[in-house]
Structures are given as C-alpha cells and as structure tokens.
Amino acid sequence: MRKLFYLLLFTTYSITTSAQTPKTYTSSEILLQLKKLNVLGSVLYIAAHPDDENTRLLAYLANEKLYRTGYLSLTRGDGGQNLIGDEQGIDLGLIRTQELLSARRIDGAEQFFSRAYDFGYCKTPEEALQTWGHDKILSDVVWVIRKFRPDVIITRFPEDSRAGHGHHSASAILAREAFDAAADPTKFPEQLQQGVTVWQAKRILWNTYNFGDNNTQKDDQLKIDCGGYNPLLGKSYGEIAALSRSQHKSQGFGVPAQRGAVIEYFATVKGDKPTTDLMDGIDVNWSRVKNDVIANSINDIIQHYSAEHPEQSVSALVKLYQSIKTIDDVYWKTQKLKEIQNLIEECSGLFLEATTNTQYAVQGDSLKINFVINNRLGAKIKSADVSFKDAHHVFDSIQNDINATYSQTVFIQPNEKLTQPYWLEEPMDKESFNVSNQQLIGKAENDPISAEFVINIDGVDFTFEKPVRYKYTDPVKGEVYQPVNVVPFANIKYDKDVYLIKQGSVITSDIKINSRSDIKKEIAVTYTLPYKNGNREDVFDSKTIELKGKDAIDDIPFNIINKNTDTSVLLMDAFGQDISPGSTNKTSGYSRVINYDHIPLIVYEKPAIAKTIFINLKIIGNSIGYIAGAGDKVPQALEQMGYKVTIIKQTDLTLNNLKQFDAIVTGVRAYNINDWLNNVYDTLMQYVKDGGTLLVQYNTNNSIGPLKAKIGPYPFTVTGKRITDETAKVNFLSTNDPALNYPNKITGKDFDGWIQERSIYDVENIDSNYKRILGMSDPNESQQDGSLIVADYGKGKFVYTGLVFFRELPAGVPGAYRLFANLLANKNEVIKK
C-alpha cells in the first residue's frame, strides 16, 4: 500500500507496554469477550504486504461484530524500504512480521502469511505469480482458507493495474482462485490428509477505496459504517485502527485517529451479492450448530456478570466449557473452547508465568526457570502443576492472591533444536520460502518455547501453555519481557560479510568466536581458509582455543591476497567445523540480533559465510563526506573500496569544512529525511562549483513526505518510475562519458548479478545540461533514461542516481563498486588524464 497512504503521515503513537508484556484484561474487555462467545462467524482479509490491510475494518469486524477476523498477507514485506534502520530483505521481513503482530494485538485480528517473498516492486501480477510460483502460493491461500474457514473473504485490491503494484493485483487474483479451489476436493488434495476439509466461503468481496485520484468506490456497492465507538474498549474503531496502523514503524505509517462515521464500500467478486450486511444469508449464532441451549447459557452468564467480581462467572464458564465439549462441529468447538478457557483464566485473575534470568537458552548449558502462579481472585483451584522439559513441579496449595513460586534449572541438550523462524529453516527458492511441514504454513511465527501449567479449576483440568520469557528490569523502560531463544554454545562470525580485495592488495581480518556460556572450556578448532596464502589455495589450519567464558571474544586472524587481475566473486563458507565438546554441538554460524523497542527482540541463525570479491577496481581521491539519509550500508562499502568516510551532520555543513572532501554522497532519501538540506543548497552548489563532486542517491517524491528541496544545479523531476527487472539490458547512452570509462572501464558485465531491481524513483523532465548515462526498460515497456544523470557545474560535477547502490554494494556486486568509483571520481583528475 506504500503508494496509497501517503496523505496520512507523521503522527506517531507510543504504546506504553512492551510488545512482550503479558496482556491483562479489564472487566469491560472480559465482557466484550463474553459477548463474542455468542458469535459464530468469520472473515478473512487478503492482501499482499504488511500495511496493505484496512485496520479500521479489521478492528470493526473483530470488536463490533465480534467475528473471528484474520489478515492473510501474502508476503512479510521483505522488499520494502526501511525508515528506522538499515535492515533489508529477510531482516526487514522479520521486523515487519513483528510489526504486523503488534498491530493485530491492538485490533484483535489474527495474522497469517504465505510463503511468498517480497522481492520488491513489480509492475504486473503475471510477473509476481510467475516469480513466486503461482501454484505454490495459491496452495498456501487455499490452506489458510481451509483452516480458517472464513464465511466471507475480503480483498483490498482489484485484479488490474489500478492496484498499483503487481503483488497487489496478484493477491486479488489468488484470493478469487482460492475461493473456488478451497471448496474443490480435486485441488491440492494432499492438504486433505493434513487435518483440513474443503471449505466454501459464502462470498468474496473487494473492499474498494477512494484515495482521491484513485477512486474505486461506487454507489451500487455494499456500504457499511465502520466508524463508531466501543465503550467497553473506550475507543472508536478509527482510534484503534490508528494505533494498530502506527505499529508499522519501519514504514513510517503513523496515522492520526479518526472519529465518527466512516463508510466502507464492498464490491462483490464472487458468491451472493450482499444487500445489507457482509454476512447476509449466513447464520452467525449458535443455531448454526443447532444448539440454542448454549446461547441461553451464555446469555445467562452475561446477565449475571459482575464487573467487580468477574470470578463469580468462573463456575458457569466451566460448566459451559463442559457442555460445548459435546457439540459435533469440530471447528466451532475448538474455537469456543479456546475462548472460554481464556475467559476462565481472565475471570479468575490467574497469573501464570515462566521466566528466565538470561536471554538465551544455550546448547550444552543450563537454564534456570522461575515459575509463578497467583490466584488473584480466589478461583476454586484444587491442584496445580507445571512442566518444562525435565522440570516438573506440583504446587502444594494455591491460595488467594499469594504468589506460589518454584524455580528449577534445566539442561539444554547440546543438540537441542536451535530457534529459527520456520520459514528460514530450509534454503529459499529464488523468491519464495520453502516449508516442508504443511502444518507450519500460514503461521505468522514459530510457536514459542512454552511451559505447561495444568490447573484444576472447579473440578476440571485446564492446560495453559505459557511462553518462557526472559524478564528483566531496565532502569528506563521498566520491566521488560523478551522471547527466549535456543542458540549455539558459541557464535562464529567473519568480521565482515563482504571482503573487497583490490588486485595486488592484501586484507587482514579475523573470525570472531564469542562464547555464549560461562562454562570455560578448551576446544580444538579446525578451520579452512582457502585464501590464506593467495586466491583459491586451500590451506587447512587448526588451533586450540580456550573459550574464556560468556561474552569474551576470541579471534582467528587471517589474510587474503588478491594476486588475480580479473574480477571474481567467491563465497567463503570455509568455516563450519564442529567446535563443541563431544562433537555433537555443531556450531557453524552466528545469531543475528535485531533490536527495536516497539517489537520483541528478533534472533535468528545465520551461517558463518563471507563473500570475497577479488576486484579490478581503481578509485580516484580518498576522502568522502557522507550525509546520512534513511539508513543504508553504503558508507561501510565506501570504506572497503579504500575511501576515508566522514559522516557529515547539519552543523558540519559549511563550505570551509566541505573543502576537505573529494566527494560528498547523500544517503538514500536524505532529502526526504533531513529538512535542513533545504537550507544548505547554496553551500552544496558552491562546493560543486569550486571543483567538488556531489552524488545524490535516490529520494522519493511521494510516500515519505513531500520533496520540497532543490537538489541539483539544473532542474529535474523525481518520479515514481523504476526498472524492476534486475537483469534488464543496460544501454550506454553516453559511451564516452567518464562515468563509463574512468578510472574503471564499464562494460555490460558490470551489470551482471544485480539483485532485486536496477533503479527506483528515476528522474524525468531532465534539463539539457545533464547527460543521461544509461537507458533501460522493463519487459514490454519503452526505454527509460532517468536512472543516472551527470552534469558538469563550475569546476565540479553533480550526479543524481536512482540506481540501487544501497542494495548492490552491501550484497557485494562487483560492477556496482566499479561504477560507483567512477561516479565519485573528481572531474579535474579525470581531465588531467
């Protein structure tokens, strides 16, 4: 939805509790859930990305209509732009998965994903479906529908180009196809052996929209007022929606809260056209399972519910639980038993917790777990016990509002399964994840490591699964809960992900081994560094290392020499030996940690791999000033190229100070992020006039704030145009320009191996003083020439580029380095040549 919501930016909300703090319930929230027991209807919303979903509609459906409500996002948003840090790809997808889960905790809907990877912008649904594998992703949508069994499916987008993004229109096409396929036993029949049956939703609707210039709402569509105020929650649905949507912090989607009536429009795609309500013709009461007795019991519980004494409802809820166990409809039985068990826990004021004092469960080390039970409102608890791995404890007696505690140390086996997001466990296909366990497909995340409390309430045993969390007190944030991850005994990592080694040069680096445990031990490390004494010469080495205990770092230094002249790329995955005691502890990588306040800590395992680029690269000049934008890893890449990089802040931006630099580079979206760049235009232009080089990387003209600043010495317009085909043929439009010739002779080969796309936010209306360097086109489109423009200005040079150097340099694409070096080369040095 990136392109469509830009009108609503720049307000952010903060949530006072951390993402992991166990949720507690007020009496009014409990009452709302009691009412939900009487509703047997479900709605599934389907779109392509985190942030595509209509959070107001989800909030309304889940909290006003009390339907089971879900959002299936085909992708995890891996290919989006990141406003809060430099994570991209898989890392960004992990962040946005958690942002979506934070949003769902607020609006009350459930979250699902398919195996599709967000490979970045694409123009047509055909490209999206072909890249993902049409049948693979359709199978996932069908699976989620067969499991979730929605009465109504709602899409966000049309199937045509009005959707604005090939992923968007593909999501609508797959939803329509899955609407039929889920009901067809000949489609994906293997799923029917996995615990689901066919399912025919009543209808599929398109939730149309009006974004001013893009209005798809029509008068003959079903209209529903989704505004309104929920007194039990103390919020309008527009307010809940804003809080939910504002969780998409990596996208900068803070939005203002709306109050009052808001009409949503629905066009019928398939199934009966509804006239007054989404659920026209669908029974959403207990009569659906032909059992009106249950409805009466629930109404009775609601009638006698006391806000001051919710515990008085526990006995009746336990009775209700027992009677619902006898109904035949497996789907609604499972749903409602789950809801009632939660209500029993909430009405009892039960507090159940399993926590650790350490962040990690380390393979081959011990882990202390603290269990707490508190029966805060005095439910009738006959017995209570807890189990986690080899720990088991029966609590003596559970008294009213007294903490019953128990601690035990458990051993984490050396071969304990490492915590890894399930979709990252198997190697990916080009643009989709592989998950061989069908039961995991669709899930938003792994089930957490959990302890099991079995508590007998009113004579019935209830099993409560509670995630084991790391709990600590931060002096600023207060009490913080984080997930606990199983990690290897030691982290092994190359110092850098990419080694750029120019011909004739040597680099010295090291492998870092970081013990995760306080257990001190000596380990024999055998390692292979094929490049120790030159390219491609295998050299095996071994060393005994004494792991010095938690957080100590041991280094294994090595050199790599580039004797070659040709540019070539190799993956250094030489490491990966067994360093554990007893050879069972395979430690072949390191834990990547991503830490933001608004989401739980993200930890996943990556192999110890480094990319080695033997490169024929020359650079001119050595001192670069970098004006950071939204966050990118270009400065690190520049350092590897041999430049000295200085980050320039607003206060450093004086002409006198700039003189020291051979070139100034602005980070991605620097002009969108830094308003102050408006005020230093004259200084930067004078710097260029005096002989400097200014290279501006892409800025957006739309989604992230208006681009007011003047950027170059002569006019051009930043557009939303891009070249999404990363293999698009590149035509050289100014073959003699230094950009393509000096100091590195650029050829078509330099555009091999690019990732995700060629360029974004290319320019047009280009003043004649600029030279257009490259021409490219996406399939079936005419050539664009706005991805790289260069102008001489005074004694210096100005460059604007939409080429995605911020992706290609960190990914170690050799040609991107060679071209970037040319763009930075000082004009006067070039002339001297």
218 vs 215: CA distance, rounded Å: 8
Of residues 52 and 78, the one with the C-beta less far from Zn ion: 52
Q: Does 1 bind Zn ion (CB under 5 A)?
A: yes
Enclosing H/E stretch for 827:
helix 827-832
CA–CA gap between residue 488 and residue 633 (Å, rounded): 28
Nearest distance from C-beta of residue 140 to Zn ion, angstroms? 17
As given in the structure block, the two tokens for residue 90 are: 């898989």
248 lies in the site for Zn ion, by CB under 5 A: no
Which of residues 173 and 198 has its CB atom nearest to Zn ion in the complex?
Answer: 173
Taking each helix axis as running N to C, give the angle between helix 125-132 and helix 134-148, from 0 to 180 degrees, rounded to the nearest 10.
90
User: How far apart (Å, rounded) are the C-alpha atoms in residues 214 and 156?
Assistant: 13
Q: Which residues of 291-301 are buried (b: 16+ CB within 10 A; e: fewer)?
A: beebeebbeeb
Q: Which CB sits closer to Zn ion, 1 or 352?
A: 1
Residue 169 beta carbon to Zn ion: minimum distance, rounded to whole angstroms? 11
Site map (CB under 5 A) of Zn ion, residues 31-60, x = contact:
------------------x--x--------
Nearer to Zn ion, 49 or 203 (CB): 49
Structure tokens at 459: 């004579």
Q: At what angle do helices 90-107 and 237-245 cross, to 10 degrees?
A: 160
- The residue count for the chain: 833
Least distance (Å) between residue 4 CB and Zn ion? 8
Q: Smallest distance, Å, CB 49 to Zn ion? A: 3
Residue 638 identity: L
Contact positions with Zn ion (CB under 5 A) in 560-599: none
* Min dist. Cβ of residue 132 to Zn ion (A): 15
CB 216 within 8 A of CB 226: no
Tracing tokens 């990118």 back to the chain, one arrives at 632
With respect to Zn ion, which residue has the nearer C-beta, 76 or 797? 76
- Pick between residue 208 and residue 580 the one whose CB is nearest to Zn ion: 208
Contact 560, 502 (CB under 8 A): no
- Whole-angstrom distance, CA of residue 663 vs CA of residue 669: 18
302-314 burial by CB neighbour count: b if 16+ within 10 A, else e? eeebeeeebbebb
**In terms of CB distance, is 2 or 669 closer to Zn ion?**
2
Cα distance between residue 715 and residue 418, in whole Å? 54
Bridge partners, 615 (sequence order) = 502
655 token code pair: 């002409």
127 versus 365: smaller Cβ distance to Zn ion: 127
Closest contact distance (angstroms) between CB of 560 and Zn ion is: 42
CA distance 675 to 708: 9
Tokens of 568: 């070539």
> Residue 71: in which H helix or E strand, if any?
strand 68-73
What binding mask, one character per residue, do residues 629-658 give for Zn ion by CB under 5 A, x or -?
------------------------------
Helix (H, G, I), strand (E, B), or coil: what is residue 485? strand
Q: How many residues bind Zn ion (CB under 5 A)?
A: 3
Which of 77, 100, 111, 114 shows the shortest CA–CA distance to 19?
100
CB-nearer residue toward Zn ion: 49 or 115? 49
Compute, in degrees rounded to 10, the torsion defined by CA atoms 131, 125, 442, 94.
70
Q: Which is nearer to Zn ion, 1 or 599 (CB)?
A: 1
When the beta carbons of 50 and 483 are compared against Zn ion, the nearer one is 50
Radius of gyration of the chain from its Cα atoms, rounded to whole angstroms? 30
| Residue 344 backbone dihedrals phi, psi, to 5 degrees | -65, -45
Which residue of the chain is nearest Zn ion when measured via CB? 49
CA geometry: angle at 569 spanning 751 and 725, to 5°? 30
Q: Which is nearer to Zn ion, 169 or 432 (CB)?
A: 169
The end-to-end CA distance of the chain, in Å, is 49
CB of 148 to Zn ion, least distance (A): 21
- Report the largest interatomic distance among the alpha carbons of the chain, rounded to a whole angstrom: 93
Find all residues with CB under 8 Å of 788, minimum gap 6, and list them: 739, 759, 772, 773, 774, 799, 800, 801, 802, 803, 823
CB of 435 to Zn ion, least distance (A): 22
Residue among 52 and 107 whose Cβ is closer to Zn ion? 52
What minimum distance in Å lies between the beta carbon of 278 and Zn ion? 23
Q: How far is the CB of 50 from Zn ion (least distance, A)?
A: 8
**Shortest separation between residue 544's beta carbon and Zn ion, angstroms:** 53
Evaluated on CA atoms 459, 462, 468, 474, the torsion sign reads: negative
Minimum distance, C-beta of residue 464 to Zn ion, in the bound complex (Å): 37
How far is 490 from 200, CA to CA, in rounded Å? 50
Q: How far is the CB of 3 from Zn ion (least distance, A)?
A: 8
Site for Zn ion, residues 473 to 502, rule: CB under 5 A: none
Question: Considering beta carbons, is residue 82 or 591 the nearer one to Zn ion?
Answer: 82
Beta carbon of residue 168, minimum distance to Zn ion (angstroms, whole number): 6
Q: For Zn ion, give the closer residue by CB, 128 or 809.
A: 128
Note whether 549 and 517 are within 8 A (CB): yes
Smallest separation, CB 1 to Zn ion (Å): 4
Q: How far is the CB of 320 from Zn ion (least distance, A)?
A: 42
- Identify the helix (H) or strand (E) that includes residue 147: helix 134-148
How do 717-718 and 229-230 pair as beta strands?
A: unpaired
The footprint of Zn ion on residues 377-396 (CB under 5 A) is none
Of the candidate spans 1-9, 58-66, 170-178, 704-712, the one that interacts with Zn ion by CB under 5 A turns out to be 1-9
Residue closer to Zn ion, measured from CB, 49 or 96: 49
Instruction: Find the shortest distance in angstroms from Cβ 108 to Zn ion.
Output: 22
CB atoms within 10 A of CB 189: 10
Residue in the structure block whose two tokens are 């990305």: 49
Nearer Cβ to Zn ion (52/431): 52
Q: Rule CB under 5 A: is residue 128 a binding residue for Zn ion?
A: no
Residues that bind Zn ion (CB under 5 A): 1, 49, 52
